[in-house]
A = this chain, B = another copy of it.
Amino acid sequence: MTIQQVATEAGVSPSTVSNLLNGRSHRMLPETRQRIERAIDKLGYRPNRAARQLRTGRNTTIGLVVPSVGNPFWGALARHLESAALAEGYHVLLCNSERDPRRERDYVDELWADGVHGVVLCSSLPSLEHVMPLVERGLQLVAFDRTSQAGDPASLVSISVDNAVGSQLATQHLTDLGHRRLAFVSGALASVNRKERYRGFMAGLEQAGVDPATSVRAPIKGDADDFGDVEASELGRAAAAELLALEEPPTGIVAINDMCALGVCRGLRDGGLEVGKDVSVVGFDDIVLADLYAPTLTTVRQPMKEMAAAAFTQLRSRLDDSGPTQGQSLLFRPELIVRESTAAPS
């Protein structure tokens, strides 16, 4: 089914069909338009995307590069972004970097080679240098879950929750409950948001007058490579075991994200402790499972749906080149969701 066949069927030229298809039908006889529309219906014609893209250089696919679809948090982002995109006739191509910087770059390269001009990148990396060449060539980039940094390309849009504030909320919640020996559990602080969350944790301590030097244990495990998300739970579990081996184990634990927090809970249980009683645990993200777990998990919620919608909107307006070319940062407000995993120290 080509545009030529439709044209023949309707008794017009391919150009005319193309004009109709591309909204250039101002000065077209209603009768002609109907003949074409009928022909399209009759033949079940759909434009060939490859040809269209070859010709125009544009397309309606955006890329989404996430660290790990194994983490329900990213699954949720994929869902929401896809919904937003779908509503406007866009498609989402999902790529899973497994937090491997090289894979991340390869994916962005591939997307670009595929003619994808807009990418939502959930990067693990503080520097976006590895994708700069493409940004210079016109790739529209939205960094998700990563606040903007010095050295970022001027056109970059950053969308993120305020990680520092979120983490501070979590920490403050624990100190408000009376905890004084706190720990922060995370993989390598190799990404911007992790650093931010750590900063929020420290700020929370300071505000409560807890001396970081003596009362904080922050077993930050792994090097920059050891960085997974499914592994986040394993990491949490191992970290918990390590913390329990201390002379004075912490009574409150802030985890880098919910998956990690669940691992911590598991590890605490391994050690015979009861979460929400012997030890308090706070997560980050508010994945669906936070409310299913036993005990239900106190956590910091990211307004995912809004963030995903914003990511799409930003990208779209730039792809249409109707939008601004200047980059910007959108910082969303996190919200503390208190559940059963936190309580006053016993």
Chain A residues with CB under 8 Å of chain B are 46-51, 53-54, 59, 68-72, 74-76, 78-79, 82, 91-96, 109-110, 113-115, 230, 233, 237, 262-263, 265-266, 269, 275, 288-289, 291-296
Pairs of residues from A and B, 7 with the lowest C-beta to C-beta distance, nearest first: A94-B94, A69-B75, A50-B53, A50-B54, A46-B113, A294-B294, A262-B292
Cα separation A263 to B96 with both chains bound (whole Å): 28
Cα separation A93 to B78 with both chains bound (whole Å): 12
Q: Is the CB of A262 within 8 A of B233?
A: no
Distance between A309 CB and nearest chain B CB, rounded to angstroms: 16
Main secondary structure of the interface of A (DSSP, over half): helix
Q: Is the CB of B91 within 8 A of A110?
A: yes
Distance between A32 CB and nearest chain B CB, rounded to angstroms: 25
Q: Is the CB of B292 within 8 A of A233?
A: yes
CB closest residue in chain B, given A56:
B50
Distance between A37 CB and nearest chain B CB, rounded to angstroms: 18
Residues of B within 8 A of A291 (CB): 266
- Out of B46, B74, B78, which one reaches A96, CB within 8 Å? B78
Copies of the polypeptide in the assembly:
2
Residues of B within 8 A of A95 (CB): 82
CB closest residue in chain B, given A57:
B50
Cα separation A46 to B108 with both chains bound (whole Å): 13
Residues of B within 8 A of A53 (CB): 50
29 residue pairs of the A-B complex, CB under 8 angstroms, read A46-B109, A46-B113, A47-B113, A48-B54, A49-B115, A50-B50, A50-B51, A50-B53, A54-B54, A69-B69, A69-B79, A70-B75, A70-B79, A72-B72, A74-B75, A78-B94, A79-B96, A82-B95, A82-B96, A91-B114, A92-B94, A233-B292, A237-B292, A265-B292, A266-B291, A266-B292, A269-B294, A275-B294, A293-B294
Distance between A83 CB and nearest chain B CB, rounded to angstroms: 8
Residues of B within 8 A of A54 (CB): 48, 50-51, 54
CB closest residue in chain B, given A64:
B94
Residues of B within 8 A of A269 (CB): 294
- Out of B48, B70, B96, which one reaches A288, CB within 8 Å? B70
CB closest residue in chain B, given A231:
B288
Residues of B within 8 A of A46 (CB): 109, 113
Distance between A304 CB and nearest chain B CB, rounded to angstroms: 11
Residues of B within 8 A of A82 (CB): 95-96
Cα separation A82 to B54 with both chains bound (whole Å): 26
Q: Is the CB of B93 within 8 A of A288?
A: no
Q: Which of A54, A92, A292 has the most B CB atoms < 10 Å from its CB?
A: A292
